[in-house]
Amino acid sequence: MIRNEVLRNMKTRFSCRKYKPDPVEKEKLEAVLDAARYAANGHNAQAWHFTVITTEEGKRELRDAVGPEPEGFRKLAPEGAVWPFPSDFFGAPVVIMISYDPKTPWPDAGAFLAAGNIMNAAQSLGLSSCALTVYSKDVFCTEETAGSRAKFIPEGYELYLTLVLGYPAVTPETRPARRENTETWL
């Protein structure tokens, strides 16, 4: 198997669910967001937007929009996984919300590829990340929360994914097993 630094980085990235409180240096955050902007995207629309939350106030506002643990949340977890409701964002100092203009081609693909770049770039800088379903999509869908929307999501855009990011307080001894037989070669 060929090995190089990029491949090693991709294979050591993991979804981190416990972070150190240490802030992330601005230049590292800028490097991560710059990597996001180089993701492939439909028709080169680049119609993504990254809302970077580093303040407790910003995190509180987002958490308030979601409210207490939503019903059925635990059912979202894959079998065997423990997904506590991450009301503290797993202690991560940074939250990044990725929204995209839904009027452009394949907006979800652009948002998710940008998320992949963020995760891999973060890993290469000694940071970790995790996607958080409960803070993604429809966060501001109620009447009470609609007022906060403009602060987090540009007009006409839709939220596709929210990530947390920071220095990991844990390193997994093992990674989730990867499925075999997922290829067809012709």
Ligand X SMILES: Cc1cc2nc3c(=O)[nH]c(=O)nc-3n(C[C@H](O)[C@H](O)[C@H](O)COP(=O)(O)O)c2cc1C
Enumerate binding residues for ligand X (CB under 6 A). Answer: 14-15, 17, 83, 130-134, 161, 175-176
Which amino acid is present at 106? Answer: W
Instruction: Give whichever of 27 and 180 is closer to ligand X, judged by the CB atom.
Output: 180
CB of 66 to ligand X, least distance (A): 11
Q: Which residue has the tokens 């997904």?
A: 83
CB of 24 to ligand X, least distance (A): 19
CB of 98 to ligand X, least distance (A): 11
Nearest to 132 by CA among 105, 101, 158, 94: 94
Please report which helix (H) or strand (E) contains residue 84, including its range: none
Instruction: Give whichever of 151 and 175 is closer to ligand X, judged by the CB atom.
Output: 175
Q: Which residue has the tokens 């902007």?
A: 37
In whole angstroms, give the CA distance from residue 137 to residue 9.
Answer: 28
Instruction: Give whichever of 26 and 137 is closer to ligand X, judged by the CB atom.
Output: 137
